Amino acid sequence: KLGLVSWFIIFSKRHHKDIFFKIANKLIETKFTKMLPEFQEMIRICMLRGIKPLMEQNKEIIILNRVLDKLKNITEVAKLLVKPEEPFSVICHGDFCRNNMFFKYD
């Protein structure tokens, strides 16, 4: 179903631009705040859990070291991950890797 949502958004953006952007421009973009050091450390530890065994097996050490280097500023990595890239940018529906931002309830 999520693929269908993404397809519908891409289709609408290409074939009904006026309606699409009228709706899209009303949405409020998620803003990133500075991450608490404790939370950043938790993410680093969780990532290390998957990376460390590979490093111990001498698998893709250069790539894994680059990943570890990127983890020093996880907020910037998160911003890069959600940066739209045409022609495949879509309106994020919510429940994917970030708090439910599209269907958030008060």
The DSSP secondary-structure symbol of 76 reads: H
Position 46 in a domain: yes
Establish if 105 belongs to a structural domain: no
Looking at the domain assignment, is residue 8 inside a domain? yes
How many Cβ atoms from other residues are within 10 Å of residue 51's Cβ? 19
74 within some domain? yes
- Quick check: is 15 in a domain? yes
User: Does residue 60 belong to any structural domain of this protein?
Assistant: yes
Please report whether residue 70 resides in a domain: yes
Q: Into how many domains does the chain fold?
A: 1
Domain that holds residue 30: 1-97
Per-residue pLDDT of the chain (106 residues; tens, 9 = 90+): 667 777 777 888 888 888 888 888 887 666 666 777 888 788 888 888 888 899 999 888 999 999 888 887 877 887 787 777 777 666 665 555 555 445 444 5
Residue 49 lies in a domain: yes
Residue 88: per-residue pLDDT: 65
pTM of the model: 0.46
The Cα 76–Cα 38 span in angstroms is 16
Distance CA 73, CA 79 (A): 10
